[in-house]
């Protein structure tokens, strides 16, 4: 039987102990159980495929994600189909997840049946285009905008992007927005759409034009929202570097056979990265491409904050790739573990400052990005009810790189009266919250999110 020991703290009324108090060190037990859901990191569902899952399976996901064609969302120049996004966002929120999406201008081989991912009215307004035979539907021709020197297309696209931002910018339910305006499926390359129906080669934008015509409209419209751009090819590297330095994260569609993750791994420490596989898990296994060790190395090489739960058959993936998911759960993104805490445990003076120092470690592959994070200590009474919270000042967990982190501060419990309490620690996305909403990798976490501090060996032992 596992027994958890809570280390009691005693607050006294008199300051006569001030000269005799000593710093005792408590070494805190780690819990290696996979944490699948935490702010700013985790596994990503494709939204249409989690409805019939069990609660335990849904709990594997941290974000759910959708892609739309522009034509899905703006059927006419003056009407918008926002419920298409709103309904999916609401479903994700109800399932305890945040939402992410991207809007495409081409979706060959699974896109609209009429071949128009860009609304037809845009071309009727004078945007120039070419046509490409669909990969899987040979009787269908996709109507695709020329990617350069197309002022009507850019003007209509930019107006749509602004309308999109007016509706969704700043939503607390939004994890990120993909910039998927350029290339097939918005993946940042022309690939199978690089020639028109006559065989003529289509001109790509220059790196500068990619920035100006495709990235900057989103950058200006969605100020303050996390944007993610897809890696297309190395010819655009200079623009990718600019984008990351400007606050945009990177995405790589194509692990493990088209990419080993290094295409976007250089963004580590600057912006989050997102990874997706080239196909669904079942097909990758059948073709011999999928090996847990190979894909794991690629995800870690990308320093991914988010990784795909395979589309197509997520239930089968969760069951069959269980070991893969558990192995990566505490490695993708950040993973904070408290190793030790030092403070005057037994005779602290109520409503008087005391010195505390903590040693943490980030066992993940990269930083915590964008999400606010506040570190607090709590005093709990004998029924585990919160009595008082003291915030650790000058601490920004977004700066906690993989490895060891030392934290120290002088803090005060301002509400607690003299008595015996249990000390707990927590990480919060906001100081307005009563209980922590981050989960840390230590044993002793209660149902409200506080991690009760108890000795892994004994107080003061190494």
At residue 52 the predicted structure's pLDDT band, cuts being 50, 70 and 90, is confident
Nearest to 426 by CA among 440, 410, 408: 440
Same-domain status, 318 and 340? no
Same-domain status, 218 and 178? yes
Same-domain status, 264 and 390? no
Same-domain status, 401 and 357? yes
At residue 38 the predicted structure's pLDDT band, cuts being 50, 70 and 90, is very high
Task: Indicate the average pLDDT of the chain.
Answer: 91
Among 21-30, 142-151, 422-431, which stretch is predicted with the lowest mean pLDDT?
Answer: 21-30
Same-domain status, 20 and 99? no
- Tens digit of pLDDT for each residue in 282-313? 999 999 999 999 999 999 999 999 999 998 88
**How confident is the model at residue 150, as a pLDDT?**
98
Q: Please give the residue that has the higher pLDDT: either 340 or 107.
A: 340
Distance CA 46, CA 63 (A): 9
Among 13-22, 391-400, 439-448, which stretch is predicted with the lowest mean pLDDT?
Answer: 13-22
Report the pLDDT averaged over residues 159-181. Answer: 97
User: For every residue of the chain, which 3-state class applies, written as one string?
Assistant: CCCCCCCEEEEECCHHHCCCCCCEEEEECECCCCCCEECCEEEEEEHHHCCCCCHHHHCCEEEEEEEEEHHHHCCECCECCCHHHHHHHHHHHHCCCEEEEEEECCCCCCCCCCCECCCHHHHHCCCCEEEEECCCCCCCEEEEECCCCCHHHHHHHHHHHHHHHHHHCCCCCEEEEECCCCCHHHCCCCHHHCECCCCCECCCCCHHHHHHHHHHHHHHHCCCCCEEEECCCHHHHHHHHHHHHCCCEEEEEEECCCCCCHHHHCCCCCCCEEEEECCCHHHHHHCCCCCHHHHHHHHHHCCCCEEECCCCCHHHHHHHCHHHHHHHHCCCCCCEEEEEEEECCCCEECCCCEEEEEEEEECCCCCCCCCCCEEEEEEECCCCCEEEEEECCCCCHHHCCCEEEEEEEEECCCCCCCEEEEEEEEEECCCCCCCCCCCCCECCECCCCCEECCECCCCCCC
Which among 270, 296, 329 is the end of a domain?
329
CATH of the domain at 381: 2.60.40
Domain annotation covers residue 461? no
**How confident is the model at residue 137, as a pLDDT?**
85
- Tens digit of pLDDT for each residue in 316-325? 999 999 999 9
Same-domain status, 278 and 192? yes
Same-domain status, 12 and 83? no
Same-domain status, 85 and 199? yes
Domain annotation covers residue 1? no
At residue 345 the predicted structure's pLDDT band, cuts being 50, 70 and 90, is confident
198 has a pLDDT exceeding 70? yes
Report the pLDDT averaged over residues 178-187. Answer: 96
For the chain, the domain total comes to: 2
348 has a pLDDT exceeding 80? no
Domain annotation covers residue 130? yes
Report the pLDDT averaged over residues 420-427. Answer: 93
Among 162-171, 232-241, 443-452, which stretch is predicted with the lowest mean pLDDT?
Answer: 443-452
267 has a pLDDT exceeding 60? yes
Report the pLDDT averaged over residues 265-283. Answer: 96
Percentage of the chain beyond pLDDT 90 is 81
Same-domain status, 22 and 113? no
- Tens digit of pLDDT for each residue in 225-238? 999 999 999 999 99
Distance CA 34, CA 29 (A): 15
15 has a pLDDT exceeding 60? no
Structure tokens at 294: 């190979």
**How confident is the model at residue 298, as a pLDDT?**
98
Distance CA 117, CA 129 (A): 12
- Tens digit of pLDDT for each residue in 389-421? 999 999 999 999 999 999 999 999 999 888 888
**How confident is the model at residue 459, as a pLDDT?**
34
Distance CA 337, CA 404 (A): 10
461 has a pLDDT exceeding 90? no
Q: Are 255 and 223 in contact (CB under 8 A)?
A: no
Same-domain status, 42 and 30? no
Domain annotation covers residue 99? yes
Domain annotation covers residue 3? no
Which among 314, 329, 344 is the end of a domain?
329
Domain annotation covers residue 2? no
Q: Are 339 and 28 in contact (CB under 8 A)?
A: yes
CATH of the domain at 236: 3.20.20.80
Enclosing domain of residue 262: 37-329
Domain annotation covers residue 317? yes
Which among 280, 300, 329 is the end of a domain?
329
Same-domain status, 316 and 407? no
Domain annotation covers residue 462? no
Angle at 377 between CA 375 and CA 378, to 5 degrees: 135
Same-domain status, 90 and 44? yes
At residue 454 the predicted structure's pLDDT band, cuts being 50, 70 and 90, is low
């Amino acid at each position: 039987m596992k027994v958890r020991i809570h280390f009691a703290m005693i607050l006294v009324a008199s300051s006569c102990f001030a000269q005799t108090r000593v710093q005792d060190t408590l070494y805190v037990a780690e819990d290696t159980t996979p944490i699948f859901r935490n702010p700013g990191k985790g596994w990503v569902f494709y939204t249409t495929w989690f409805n019939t899952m069990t609660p335990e399976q849904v709990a594997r996901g941290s974000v759910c994600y959708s892609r739309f064609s522009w034509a899905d969302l703006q059927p006419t120049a003056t009407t918008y189909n926002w419920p298409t996004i709103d309904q999916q966002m609401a479903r994700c929120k109800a399932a305890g997840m945040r939402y992410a999406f991207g809007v495409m201008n081409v979706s060959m081989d699974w896109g609209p049946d009429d071949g128009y991912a860009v609304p037809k009215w845009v071309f009727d307004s004078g945007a120039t285009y070419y046509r490409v035979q669909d990969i899987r539907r040979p009787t269908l021709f996709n109507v695709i905008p020329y990617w350069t020197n197309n002022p009507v297309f850019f003007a209509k696209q930019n107006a749509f992007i602004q309308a999109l931002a007016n509706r969704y910018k700043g939503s607390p339910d939004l994890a990120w927005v993909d910039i998927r305006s350029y290339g097939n499926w918005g993946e940042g390359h022309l690939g199978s759409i690089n020639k028109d129906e006559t065989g003529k080669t289509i001109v790509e934008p220059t790196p500068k034009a990619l920035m100006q015509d495709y990235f900057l409209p989103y950058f200006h419209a969605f100020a303050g929202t996390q944007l993610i751009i897809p890696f297309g090819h190395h010819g655009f590297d200079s623009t990718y570097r600019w984008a990351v330095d400007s606050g945009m994260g990177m995405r790589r569609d194509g692990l493990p056979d088209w990419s080993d993750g290094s295409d976007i791994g250089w963004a580590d420490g600057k912006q989050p990265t997102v990874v997706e596989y080239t196909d669904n898990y079942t097909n990758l296994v059948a073709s011999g491409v999928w090996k847990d060790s190979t894909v794991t190395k690629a995800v870690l090489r990308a320093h991914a904050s988010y990784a795909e739960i395979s589309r197509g058959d997520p239930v089968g993936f969760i069951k069959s790739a269980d070991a893969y998911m558990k192995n990566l759960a505490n490695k993708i993104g950040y993973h904070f573990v408290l190793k030790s805490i030092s403070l005057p445990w037994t005779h602290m003076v109520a409503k008087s400052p005391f010195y505390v120092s903590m040693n943490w470690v980030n066992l993940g592959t990269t930083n915590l990005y964008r999400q606010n994070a506040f570190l607090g200590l709590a005093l709990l009474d004998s029924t585990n009810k919160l009595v008082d919270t003291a915030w650790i000042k000058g601490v920004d967990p977004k700066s906690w790189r993989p490895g060891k982190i030392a934290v120290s501060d002088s803090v005060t419990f301002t509400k607690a009266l003299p008595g015996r309490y249990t000390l707990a620690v927590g990480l919060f996305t906001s100081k307005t919250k009563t209980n922590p909403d981050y989960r840390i990798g230590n044993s002793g976490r209660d149902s409200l999110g506080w991690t009760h501090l108890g000795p892994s060996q004994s107080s003061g032992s190494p």
